[in-house]
Amino acid sequence: MNVKLTKRAAGNIEENIHSIRGLRVILDRDLAEAYGVETKALNRAITRNRTRFPVDFAFRLTLQELKNLRCQNGTSSSAWGGSRYAPLAFTEHGAIMAANVLRSPRATEMSVFVVRAFIKMREQLLSRAELETRLTQIENVLLAHDDSIRKLYRQIRPLLLPPPDPPAKRIGFHVRERRAAYRTQKVR
């Protein structure tokens, strides 16, 4: 197997890993292509060795999952030459087990790339989860700072406002002032 073929195949494997039922899986047709066998031959080998493939290794997609996958990937419908049956989805362990069941040299070589692709996807998910956690922490700190700034602004705002104007004093002698002046003269 030449180096160009393996690099291209490794890139294709990463593109063919999907998230279904919260699991990272590769479909039977993509795994068969990577292993250099027909999808029919892969499925026959899986059927003959069904005990080696519990539900956490391989499962058949439901019609709704298949419909969602077709919408995401733009694959053809069964009326236009597409798959007539819902495909099998293999987890990382199921893909390795499929390579063991097929026992072909190409399947053995490509199983290493399949495992590496799953590992790379897992690492990307972990780094994304760590990033989301860190962003949440930063957001909480900023929200706490926002509250502190709002409280400080409420306390400073009265100091920033201009002082209220004193009531304008009317010019001249007024009745209230006259009474007050009269009282002060009487008291003396």
Cα separation, 52 vs 56, whole angstroms: 11
Percent of the chain exceeding pLDDT 90 equals: 1
Domains of the chain by residue range = 3-122
Checking if the pLDDT of 129 tops 80, the result is no
Q: Residues 17, 118: contact at Cβ < 8 Å? A: yes
pTM: 0.53
What is the torsional sign of CA 91, 93, 94, 96? Answer: positive
Q: Residue 138 region, left (φ>0) first, then alpha (ψ -120 to 50), else beta?
A: alpha
pLDDT single digits (tens) 79-124 = 444 556 788 899 888 888 888 888 777 776 777 777 777 778 778 7
pLDDT single digits (tens) 56-73 = 889 998 888 888 777 665
